[in-house]
């Protein structure tokens, strides 16, 4: 059992990867790609990779087909900032493959900086890191409710629990992602819908390759591999715990924040003085 859980189960059923139909946004690279490989290892029946980066999804579909011939792998090009694309993905998968068992809302971007960040950049990161979750919920939850089952997994970030020096839009949108995940969890648990929220610190992906290459402030507790985050995600889903914390230190920092909020902010000031200025010049990693 994870340190942050006393074993309380919100839903009767928890996600079982074997034989499942799964959709992963941002499935072409990084954490999304690792989740796809982990699900294939655990014998998912269908894995749908949703991404704007078709080169990566095409190559991952081939890799999955070769290594896991019993798992059907397909890619759908979609811009997850757009509700019509999300609606199209859900309709297409349910029509061509069957009822979705688990949806991993994972595509996200980093946008650094502070008050100077432009309205356009705020709009882009808000749409992808926050509104995407709403779009998926809007078009998928009614189907889950009708079937009285389904897993909804949101990749937020430790930045959504602890903030992030030098990256105001990222910190704000990831707090919103956690808020959205919490709300969905307590609202839909009565319908037996499992909602979980993945909150890692630094993971070695294209996102952390930016800047100092060590994840800046997110890398202080060390960098993990995408495969570690993916394994922890699927293992934690089995337990029914809402929070997925591949970096165990995050729970310690959350406790500190709850017990001594001002002390927590003082510690964040120190991290801001170490990373804030340099990190805020890292360019956004949007592929749009
Ligand atoms: N890497 C980390 O240290 C870290 C830590 C905490 C949380 N996260 C979160 O994990 C998630 C995955 O990030 P990652 O590190 O694997 O990054 P990544 O850049 O390796 O992968 C992100 C994927 O999302 C896709 N994408 C970007 N914009 C899109 C759009 N508009 N529509 C569809 N797809 C789009 C990209 O093409 C890419 O395949 C993000 O939500 C990120 O915020 C990452």
Say what the pLDDT of residue 211 is: 77
Query: Which pairs from 69-73 meet CB under 8 Å and 24+ separation?
Result: 70/43, 70/45, 71/39, 71/40, 71/43, 71/44, 71/45, 71/46, 71/47, 72/45, 72/46, 72/47, 72/97, 73/36, 73/40, 73/46, 73/47, 73/48, 73/49
- Segments of the chain with pLDDT less than 70: 1, 284, 286-288
Position in ligand 1 atom list of the atom nearest CA 57: 39
Residue 120 has a pLDDT of: 95
Q: Would the CB of 26 count as within 6 Å of ligand 1?
A: yes
Looking at residue 287, what is its pLDDT? Answer: 65
203 lines ligand 1 (CB under 6 A): yes
Task: Compute the residue count for the chain.
Answer: 288
Q: Which residues pair with 196 in a beta bridge?
A: 153
Ligand 1 pocket test: which of 51, 56, 83, 108 has the largest number of ligand atoms within 8 Å of its C-beta? 108
Assess whether the C-beta atom of 109 lies below 6 angstroms from ligand 1: yes
State residue 197's pLDDT score.
98
**Per-residue model confidence (pLDDT) at position 81:** 98
Best residue among 111, 176, 205 to mutate for probing ligand 1's pocket (most ligand atoms within 8 Å of CB) is 205
**C-beta 96 within 6 A of ligand 1:** no
Question: What is the rounded (10 degree) CA torsion for 243, 244, 249, 251?
Answer: 10
Q: Check if 55 has its Cβ closer than 6 Å to any atom of ligand 1.
A: no
CATH architecture of 21-279: 3-Layer(aba) Sandwich (3.40)
What is the structure's pLDDT at 276? Answer: 75
**Atom from ligand 1 closest to the CA of residue 85:** 32
């Amino acid at each position: 059992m994870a340190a942050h859980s006393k074993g309380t189960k919100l839903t009767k059923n928890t996600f079982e990867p074997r034989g499942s139909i799964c959709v992963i946004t941002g499935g072409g690279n990084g954490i999304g790609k690792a989740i796809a490989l982990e699900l294939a290892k655990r014998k998912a029946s269908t894995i749908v990779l949703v991404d704007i980066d078709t080169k990566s999804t095409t190559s991952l579909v081939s890799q999955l087909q070769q290594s896991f011939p019993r798992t059907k792998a397909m890619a759908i090009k979609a811009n997850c900032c757009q509700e019509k694309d999300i609606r199209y993905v859900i309709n297409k998968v349910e029509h061509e493959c069957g009822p979705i068992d688990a949806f991993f809302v994972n595509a996200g971007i980093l946008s650094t900086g502070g008050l100077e960040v432009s309205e356009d950049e705020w709009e882009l990161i808000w749409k992808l890191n926050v509104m995407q979750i709403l779009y998926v919920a809007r078009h998928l939850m009614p189907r889950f409710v009708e079937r009285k089952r389904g897993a909804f997994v949101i990749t937020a970030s430790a930045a959504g629990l602890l903030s992030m020096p030098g990256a105001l839009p990222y910190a704000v949108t990831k707090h919103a992602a956690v808020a959205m995940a919490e709300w969905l969890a307590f609202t839909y648990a009565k319908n037996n819908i499992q909602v979980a929220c993945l909150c890692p610190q630094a993971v070695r992906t294209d996102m952390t390759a930016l800047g100092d290459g060590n994840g800046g402030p997110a890398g202080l507790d060390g960098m993990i591999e995408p495969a570690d985050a993916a394994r922890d995600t699927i293992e934690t889903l089995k337990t029914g715990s809402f929070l997925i914390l591949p970096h165990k230190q995050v729970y310690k920092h959350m406790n500190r924040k709850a017990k001594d909020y001002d002390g927590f902010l003082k510690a964040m000031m120190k991290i801001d003085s170490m990373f804030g200025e340099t990190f805020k010049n890292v360019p956004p990693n949007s592929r749009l």
